[in-house]
């Protein structure tokens, strides 16, 4: 499969609230074309323009090149080997951050294209006996009042979700408010619905305050506390995790197996949450899962983007070991909710893993045009 073109398309809603921790308001759509006219799609969960530049950059020297320069004209016979080739060819300016974010979208598109070429869904290429249905948890930003939290949780229950994660927003501003929001969520959820809290770095590096909140969450039967600290506060994560109050989760800001290996060696987390649109793509999330299996860590991929990432995450969850549950953003973002035509069937809080070749999604080109900002690589 020889690659003929690589497009990077910036998409953005006309109104973006930059004060919200909401990555569903824009995206970098990636299209990889083969010589026979087929194309695969992927997306990047990062700054679209910065990652577009990573793809567009010309070659500077032997180990620093833009991804398009490396990929176009390349013969792909194994997507994992192509990932290594792109990683090495861009390693000087890439390796982490935006370099790996951009590579994530390209890798996702390559898996989609490869699946279309050999007429297999990605899940069947990743594992021999993939799951067909994955339980979901609704994912929403935390509201600022107990009354609004009650509405949010009640809405998710009415939609059939058996679990919900609430995060960011005002978490960490006030201990009393945190406790009120936590209690409201549990009251609205009842005893059957699972709850998780994403603190959105709300406790900085304050292990004592995070310990207090973790205890409150445990008392209310929450499943995990996510991202209480800034990503690089590994010692704080290790200190809180080792208290064993309830599972501590993070990892959406981490990239590649090597960063997750650092977390493993520090004993810093119970649950890893690599984002396939940011951690290195489908190829790399499987490598991260291998490290997790070695160290006895649970993997629950982060997924707050369009139907492209939702589908990619379903394919990965179909083959990853251990208990499965997938994040499912229900935020009211027109771009995120309408970019793909094909709707993943959801029934009683479960999603059906797509069975069409590749990722099993089809772009709505009218939506692409509506939110289009720029395209490079045509």
Give me the CATH number covering residue 309.
3.20.20.120
Question: What is the tally of helices (H) and strands (E) in the chain?
Answer: 14, 14
CB proximity list for 331: less than 8 A, separation 6 or greater: 22, 24, 139, 140, 141, 304
**pLDDT-derived band of residue 17, with 50, 70 and 90 as boundaries?**
confident
Position 30 in a domain: yes
Do 97 and 137 reside in the same domain of the chain? Answer: no
Do 82 and 129 reside in the same domain of the chain? Answer: no
Give me the CATH number covering residue 14.
3.30.390.10
Q: How many domains does the chain have?
A: 2
Do 95 and 110 reside in the same domain of the chain? Answer: yes
Do 102 and 220 reside in the same domain of the chain? Answer: no
Burial (CB count within 10 angstroms: exposed 0-12, middle 13-18, buried 19+), residue 267 = middle
Do 141 and 98 reside in the same domain of the chain? Answer: no
Position 233 in a domain: yes
**pLDDT-derived band of residue 115, with 50, 70 and 90 as boundaries?**
very high
pLDDT digits (tens, 9 = 90+) for 233-268: 999 999 999 999 999 999 999 999 999 999 999 999
Position 357 in a domain: no
Do 301 and 189 reside in the same domain of the chain? Answer: yes
Find out whether 169 and 200 touch, Cβ atoms under 8 Å.
Answer: yes
**∠ Cα 200 301 179 (to 5°):** 30
Do 111 and 131 reside in the same domain of the chain? Answer: no
Position 361 in a domain: no
Do 157 and 247 reside in the same domain of the chain? Answer: yes
In angstroms, the CA 339 to CA 131 distance is 25
Do 21 and 152 reside in the same domain of the chain? Answer: no
**pLDDT-derived band of residue 100, with 50, 70 and 90 as boundaries?**
very high
pLDDT digits (tens, 9 = 90+) for 178-232: 999 999 999 999 999 999 999 999 999 999 999 999 999 999 999 999 999 999 9
**pLDDT-derived band of residue 176, with 50, 70 and 90 as boundaries?**
very high
Burial (CB count within 10 angstroms: exposed 0-12, middle 13-18, buried 19+), residue 316 = buried
Position 256 in a domain: yes
Do 198 and 291 reside in the same domain of the chain? Answer: yes
Model's pTM, two decimal places? 0.96
Position 360 in a domain: no
**pLDDT-derived band of residue 308, with 50, 70 and 90 as boundaries?**
very high
* pLDDT exceeds cutoff 90 at 343: no
Do 96 and 193 reside in the same domain of the chain? Answer: no
In angstroms, the CA 194 to CA 128 distance is 30
Position 189 in a domain: yes
Do 89 and 8 reside in the same domain of the chain? Answer: yes
Owning domain of residue 10 = 3-119+366-376
* pLDDT exceeds cutoff 80 at 342: no
pLDDT digits (tens, 9 = 90+) for 205-217: 999 999 999 999 9
* pLDDT exceeds cutoff 80 at 132: yes
* pLDDT exceeds cutoff 90 at 350: yes
Position 176 in a domain: yes
């Amino acid at each position: 499969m020889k690659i003929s073109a690589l497009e990077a398309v910036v998409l953005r809603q006309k109104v973006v609230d930059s004060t919200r921790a909401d990555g569903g308001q824009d995206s970098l759509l990636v299209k990889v074309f083969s010589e026979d006219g087929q194309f695969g799609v992927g997306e990047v969960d990062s700054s679209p323009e910065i990652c577009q530049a990573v793809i567009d950059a010309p070659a500077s020297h032997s180990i620093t090149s833009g991804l398009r320069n490396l990929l176009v004209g390349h013969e792909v016979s194994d997507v994992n080997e192509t990932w290594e080739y792109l990683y090495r060819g861009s390693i000087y300016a890439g390796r982490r951050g935006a370099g790996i974010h951009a590579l994530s979208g390209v890798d996702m598109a390559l898996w989609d294209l490869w699946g279309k070429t050999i007429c297999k869904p990605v899940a069947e290429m990743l594992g021999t006996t993939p799951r067909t249905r994955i339980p979901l948890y609704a994912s929403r930003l935390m509201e600022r009042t107990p009354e609004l939290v009650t509405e949010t949780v009640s809405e998710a229950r009415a939609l059939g979700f058996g679990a919900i994660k609430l995060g960011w927003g005002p978490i960490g501003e006030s201990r009393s408010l945190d406790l009120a929001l936590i209690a409201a969520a549990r009251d609205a959820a009842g005893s059957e619905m699972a709850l998780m809290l994403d603190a959105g770095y709300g406790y900085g590096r304050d292990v004592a305050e995070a310990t207090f909140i973790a205890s409150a969450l445990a008392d209310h039967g929450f499943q995990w506390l996510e991202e209480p600290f800034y990503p690089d506060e590994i010692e704080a994560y290790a200190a809180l995790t080792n208290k064993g109050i309830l599972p501590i989760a993070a990892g959406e800001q981490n990239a590649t197996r090597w960063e997750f290996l650092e977390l493993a060696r520090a004993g810093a987390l119970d649950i890893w949450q690599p984002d396939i649109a940011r951690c290195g793509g489908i190829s790399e999330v499987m490598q991260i899962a291998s490290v997790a299996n070695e160290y006895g860590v649970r993997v629950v991929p982060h997924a707050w983007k369009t139907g492209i990432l939702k589908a990619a995450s379903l394919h990965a969850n179909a083959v990853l070991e251990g208990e499965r549950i997938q994040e499912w953003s229900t935020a009211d973002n027109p771009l995120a909710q309408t970019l793909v035509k094909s709707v993943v069937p959801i029934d009683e809080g479960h999603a059906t893993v797509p069975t069409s070749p590749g990722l099993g999604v089809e772009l709505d080109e009218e939506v692409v045009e509506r939110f289009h900002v720029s395209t490079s690589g045509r």
